Amino acid sequence: MEAKVLNLKGDAVGSLKLPENVFGVKPQTTLLHEVTTAYLANQREGSAHTKTRAEVSGGGKKPWKQKGTGRARHGSTRSPIWRHGGVAWGPRNTVNYRQELPRAKWRLGLAQALSARAADGGLRVLESLALDGAKTKQVAALLKAVNAGPRALIVTEAHDANLVRAARNVEGLKVSLAAHLNAYDVLVCRTLIMTKGAIEKLAPRWN
pLDDT tens-digit readout, 186-195: 999 999 999 9
Q: What is the pLDDT of residue 135?
A: 86
pLDDT at 200 over 80: yes
Residues 35 and 69 in one domain: no
Mean pLDDT value of segment 98-112: 95
pLDDT tens-digit readout, 62-90: 999 999 999 999 999 999 999 999 999 99
Last residue of a domain, one of 64, 96, 128: 96
Residues 30 and 115 in one domain: yes
Residues 57 and 150 in one domain: no
Q: What is the pLDDT of residue 84?
A: 93
User: How would residue 54 be classed by pLDDT, with cut points 50, 70 and 90?
Assistant: very high
Q: Where in the sequence is the domain holding 197, given as residue range(s)?
A: 2-44+100-206
Residues 20 and 107 in one domain: yes
Residues 9 and 110 in one domain: yes
**In the chain, which ranges are continuous DSSP H helix?**
20-23, 29-43, 103-119, 136-145, 161-167, 183-188, 196-202
pLDDT at 129 over 90: no
Residues 37 and 138 in one domain: yes
Residues 76 and 155 in one domain: no
Residues 163 and 77 in one domain: no
Mean pLDDT value of segment 114-133: 90
Distances from the Cα of 50 to the Cαs of 41, 58, 59, 85, 146, in angstroms? 21, 16, 17, 11, 49
Residues 38 and 51 in one domain: no
pTM for the whole structure: 0.83
Domain count, the chain: 2
Residues in the chain: 207
pLDDT tens-digit readout, 2-42: 889 998 888 888 899 999 999 999 999 999 999 999 999 99
Average pLDDT of the chain?
92
Question: What CATH number does the domain containing 25 carry?
Answer: 3.40.1370.10
DSSP sequence for 166-192: HHTTSTTEEEEEGGG--HHHHHH-SEE
CB atoms near residue 178 (< 10 Å): 19
pLDDT at 134 over 90: no
CA 115 – CA 27 distance, rounded (Å): 7
* Residues β-bridged to residue 176: 155
Residues 104 and 90 in one domain: no
Residues 72 and 131 in one domain: no
